[in-house]
Amino acid sequence: MSLKKYWAKRDFKRTAEPKGKVLKTKEHRFVVQEHRTLDGRLHYDFRLEIEGVLKSWAVPKGPPEKAGEKRLAVQVEDHPLEYQVFHGVIPEGQYGAGKVEIWDVGKLKIKEKTANSIRFELFGKRLKGSFSLFQPPTFEKKNWLLFKNN
Ligand code: MN
């Protein structure tokens, strides 16, 4: 796992986002951040702690909250674990410029992981229960589907 792409996109003298490093912990967590960019568009950043980084997807419509729902989730660069607590303003001219708020956070239990699927359980305030991420073979590689199973 590497944070090179994350570091390359950001100037840490200008953004308050953490530089971070790959960091393995015993208890894994997830975070969802509501991200409103300067052009007024809203998406949700869905991040799962896996192998010392936050695997990250941008979910335009927000994560599914009801069993049986699914959402498009576009994979973006891995983020450092320190990003779990980040909220605030990313300044104009910086990557992702706009406002970031924590929408949900909590424990994460990975049930099964393959090259194109992850099954997991979330223990957040808003997101609870069994979810999965799946990369359909007919989709563009960065495009995944996020399901709420129950
Ligand atoms: Mn974002």
53-63 per-position pLDDT tens digit:
999 999 999 99
Residue 109 alpha carbon to ligand 1 centre in Å: 23
Distance CA 57, CA 146 (A): 9
Distance CA 73, CA 61 (A): 9
Residue 46 alpha carbon to ligand 1 centre in Å: 9
Question: Residue 64 phi/psi, 5° resolution?
Answer: -70, 135
90-100 tens-digit pLDDT: 999 999 999 99
Residue 133 alpha carbon to ligand 1 centre in Å: 18
Ligand 1 is an ion; its neighbours by CB within 5 Å are: 35, 45
Residue 36 alpha carbon to ligand 1 centre in Å: 8
Residue 49 alpha carbon to ligand 1 centre in Å: 16
Residue 44 alpha carbon to ligand 1 centre in Å: 7
Q: Which two three-digit tokens encode residue 81?
A: 């674990």
Tokens 């450092």 sit on residue: 80
Residue 57 alpha carbon to ligand 1 centre in Å: 8
Q: How do beta strands 98-114 and 128-134 pair?
A: unpaired
The percentage of residues in the chain with a pLDDT greater than 90, rounded to a whole number, is 97
Residue 77 alpha carbon to ligand 1 centre in Å: 10
65-96 tens-digit pLDDT: 999 999 999 999 999 999 999 999 999 999 99
Residue 23 alpha carbon to ligand 1 centre in Å: 21
Above 90 in pLDDT, residue 1?
Answer: no
| pLDDT for residue 62 | 97
Residue 26 alpha carbon to ligand 1 centre in Å: 26
24-43 tens-digit pLDDT: 998 999 999 999 999 999 99
Sign, CA torsion 22/23/29/32: negative
Q: Name the DSSP class of 33.
A: E
